[in-house]
Amino acid sequence: MLTSAPDCFTEALSEGALPREVVEAVLEDGRAESLAYLALNQELLEDDPELLSRLAALGLSQVARAVVLNQHGHRSTEWWLLRGFRELLAAARPHEAWTGPDGALPRLEHSYLRWRRTLVVCPIGRWARSTLIEITSDLTRAEQLRGLLTVHDHDGGLEQLGNFDQDRFRPAVAEVLRTVLAGGDVTVLREAVAIAEGTDGLIEELYEQETIRNVPTFALDMLGLRVQVDWEALTRAHADRPFGANALATLRSRHDCPAELHPPLHPLKAAASDPDLPALVAKHLGDRVEAWRAARARLTRFKGELADLLPEIGEEAPAKGRAGKTAAWPGAGDLPAWDAVASVSGARAKFLALLDAASVETQLKLLRHLDDRTVAELFGQGTWHDDWLDFAMKARLKRYRFALAQRPSLTAEAIETLMGRDDPAINARLFLRTAATGTQRERLLSGRLTKELVERLLERTGGFRARDAVSCSNTELQRHILTLVRVRGLVPQQRLMLNLWERGGVAAVRDLLENEPKGRNFSRNVIRPDSRRFFTKLVNEPDADAALETLRATVATGETAEDQIAILRMRGIHPSAEIFREAHLWRWDELLAEHRREPLGTIILLGLAENPDCPQEFRDEADRNRWRWVDYENKVISGDTPEEILGVDVDAQSLLSGGLAGSTRSWLGKAVRAEAVTWEQVAALARPAALALAAVPVEDARATVGPLVREHLDPSRDTWVLALHMLPDFTGTITELFTTAAIATAATR
């Protein structure tokens, strides 16, 4: 049976715990198709990096195809270590299965960025070189350097290195490349690779995670590339410039992570562990200002539980109306710096826990008595109340609005309300909030900017978004941003030039064209060639006013919802198409209305969902449809009924011979879990039978296929043999296969 229909049995290798003897036998046998299935076994490989490395070291293209094409459809192999996949590519050797038109490398070149970046280690032909050219700005310093070393060692040596455009690389990488070419000694490059692939490069990448990448898995991938890390160096870096929450959580995933690098516990967690605290606060402190003042004074020396302190305070504090002369609030302090967040520890953390346990009415009454720092701690770290925002917007003192604007978890809705004040000092704080939408950031930079914000942003070497430069009112800052992040797309670049023209006249546009900033992390051309031709023609028009009107009309048309919808509905679009990377001001309301009128389709939704400002309705629908397999040609499983979903035209031979049955099996599994189809419907409707059988998990096969076997095949040996011989080439369903075999052998029984 195994030799007659191996795909019906080897698929069992792709899930569940396996005896070590079976795994060793499969590795020793070396059959590529079996190993490809084994590569999909998350339960087996996820917690056994040594076994994954052994599998990767075989350098099999079938394993690469299984992992990447699963990922390309529905991200089911994200658990694969990036280090493991790099080891797989590093072990690859020239072969048609890797390099042919339908080989693993061409597929990989058009897959998701997470997999594409691993090509920098590929020793075969042009692949590392092409990756350095095509996705330069998406690569880390370590990856750029590793790619250059791969090109030197496997793709042309120093001569090939000399063909690179050095301005495309990060400045530090370009400097290494110039040194190598000048001296002809690649030792400098090897040493630079070793440093960048060590803890030094990891520190840089962890900071980038918080400012540039904004992809939760990025830090995990980068940490995973290091077998060993220098914890002392990481601790020193964190003390000098604290890592963000995601970076700390990533480091904490290592069992040997020191306590200094553990994510800090929120100061309110202790309070949350005492459900009686709100009642105790109300009973013993209430809204009596002097009781709260006494509590704050006692906390500096108090070492016990808050619940034990409160009764004492309630007895000692003067009653309402009997307080003495108002004194400074105990432990009074100033607001944190405009670009900092209040840190809370010790007595301050305990007092914040008490404040947070009080009713919002009590909090509002206390606010005018509290010092600036305590206000910042409550508004910055306390449990959110909408009443705070109403109070702050109506208050005479700015400190309340400043404190709210510095709250790390401030929502986009609250940011919008505070922006209504049009206060440059508030706006400077709001721009640093991570929840600020792209549209809000654009508006914040288009208005009056404080000197402090401009200076702070000019020091940044990352953390900008594509549209930050589009409406920036400070020319120096705008040019700085343009060197760090590309404004992708014709229409977004036209909008940038229109804003510049309206703010500074035609001379400002001409100056940008003649003194174009040079990109630091991407191709030197900040302005697209087609954009440059269009703008050059306009600035040379004798009638500047007419030229400006032409530009206004062009931008107005390009930014309409109708234009955006037309582009999205173009044939050939796919989830990672350039349109989704361009800096468009998407008309989300109109796009939602159009989608409700005529659905935009799964591929478009998957692409739009990658935008940080994408509405939740689009995100939810994209998530519901991620099980729909999108292949490398951007075909997508469509339909709503089981008949439509399972009626998809699948090339059985390419799937089975290429080791991709696991890919179909995975999307079908997701479809079943999403309750779009059942395994019984798969047996009755999905074709070809071999692919459908390979899709059914072992634990479901007995309930799904068992009744059909007993009905049509048992107990006839001839029927079994015929069914197995027919299986590899049979184009019908499982049910049709069994009934056909039964009918054909009925006359001989």
CB 568, CB 604: distance < 8 Å: yes
Q: In angstroms, rounded to a whole number, what is the distance separating the alpha carbons of residues 567 and 295?
A: 63
What's the average model confidence in pLDDT over 431-435? 89
- pLDDT for position 443: 96
Q: How far is CA 594 from the centre of its chain?
A: 27
pLDDT digits (tens, 9 = 90+) for 476-515: 999 999 998 889 899 999 999 999 999 999 999 999 999 9
pLDDT digits (tens, 9 = 90+) for 306-340: 888 888 886 665 655 554 446 789 989 999 999 88
Q: What angle do CA 91, 85, 112 make, to 5 degrees?
A: 125
Q: How far is CA 259 from the centre of its chain?
A: 27
Cα dihedral 394, 395, 399, 404, rounded to 10, equals -30
Looking at this protein, which amino acid is placed at residue 690?
A: A
Q: In angstroms, rounded to a whole number, what is the distance separating the alpha carbons of residues 461 and 204?
A: 11
CB 27, CB 19: distance < 8 Å: no
Q: In angstroms, rounded to a whole number, what is the distance separating the alpha carbons of residues 511 and 501?
A: 11
Structure tokens at 406: 């510095």
pLDDT digits (tens, 9 = 90+) for 600-635: 888 888 889 888 889 999 988 887 777 665 554 556
Q: For residues 649 and 552, which has the higher predicted lDDT (pLDDT)? A: 552
Nearby residues of 146 by Cβ (< 8 Å), 6 or more positions away: 120, 121, 193, 196, 197
pLDDT digits (tens, 9 = 90+) for 362-382: 999 999 999 999 999 999 989
Mean pLDDT lowest among 198-212, 289-303, 726-740? 198-212
Three-state DSSP at 316 gives: helix
Residue 143: pLDDT above 90? yes
Q: In angstroms, rounded to a whole number, what is the distance separating the alpha carbons of residues 474 and 465?
A: 16
Q: In angstroms, rounded to a whole number, what is the distance separating the alpha carbons of residues 725 and 737?
A: 11
Residue 245: pLDDT above 70? yes
Q: In angstroms, rounded to a whole number, what is the distance separating the alpha carbons of residues 353 and 285?
A: 13
CB 15, CB 694: distance < 8 Å: no
CB 608, CB 622: distance < 8 Å: yes
Q: For residues 670 and 375, which has the higher predicted lDDT (pLDDT)? A: 375
- pLDDT for position 650: 46
CB 307, CB 280: distance < 8 Å: yes
- pLDDT for position 587: 95
**Phi-psi region at 659: left, alpha or beta (left = phi > 0; alpha = psi -120 to 50):** left
pLDDT digits (tens, 9 = 90+) for 3-54: 344 555 566 787 777 788 878 888 887 888 888 888 888 888 887 888 989 9
The secondary structure of residue 475, as a DSSP letter, is: H
Q: In angstroms, rounded to a whole number, what is the distance separating the alpha carbons of residues 630 and 666?
A: 12
Q: What is the mean pLDDT of the chain?
A: 85
% residues pLDDT > 70 (the chain): 87
User: Ranked by mean pLDDT, which of 107-111, 245-249, 264-268, 526-530 comes out on top?
Assistant: 526-530
Three-state DSSP at 630 gives: strand
Q: In angstroms, rounded to a whole number, what is the distance separating the alpha carbons of residues 445 and 419?
A: 12
Structure tokens at 309: 């302190």
DSSP state letters, 361-397: HHHHHHHTTS-HHHHHHHHHHSPP-HHHHHHHHH-S-
What's the average model confidence in pLDDT over 347-352? 90
Outline where 631-686 has alpha helix (H).
642-646, 652-657, 661-673, 679-685
**Cis bond leading into 715, ω under 30°?**
yes
Q: How far is CA 289 from the centre of its chain?
A: 47
Nearby residues of 242 by Cβ (< 8 Å), 6 or more positions away: none
Structure-token match 């409700």, residue found: 596
The secondary structure of residue 693, as a DSSP letter, is: H
Nearby residues of 723 by Cβ (< 8 Å), 6 or more positions away: 713, 737, 738, 741
Q: In angstroms, rounded to a whole number, what is the distance separating the alpha carbons of residues 535 and 532?
A: 5
Structure tokens at 690: 């071999």
DSSP state letters, 235-258: HHHHHHSPPPHHHHHHHHTSTT--
- Of 554, 431, 406, residue with least CA distance to 481: 431
Q: In angstroms, rounded to a whole number, what is the distance separating the alpha carbons of residues 304 and 666?
A: 55
What's the average model confidence in pLDDT over 660-685? 73
Crossing angle of helices 187-196 and 171-183, in 10° steps, is: 160
DSSP state letters, 141-155: HHHHHHHHHHHHHHT
Structure tokens at 348: 């301050």
pTM, two decimal places: 0.63
CB 246, CB 210: distance < 8 Å: yes
Q: For residues 362 and 1, which has the higher predicted lDDT (pLDDT)? A: 362
CB 250, CB 220: distance < 8 Å: yes
Sheet strands (E) in 60-201? none
% residues pLDDT > 90 (the chain): 45
Q: In angstroms, rounded to a whole number, what is the distance separating the alpha carbons of residues 225 and 196?
A: 11
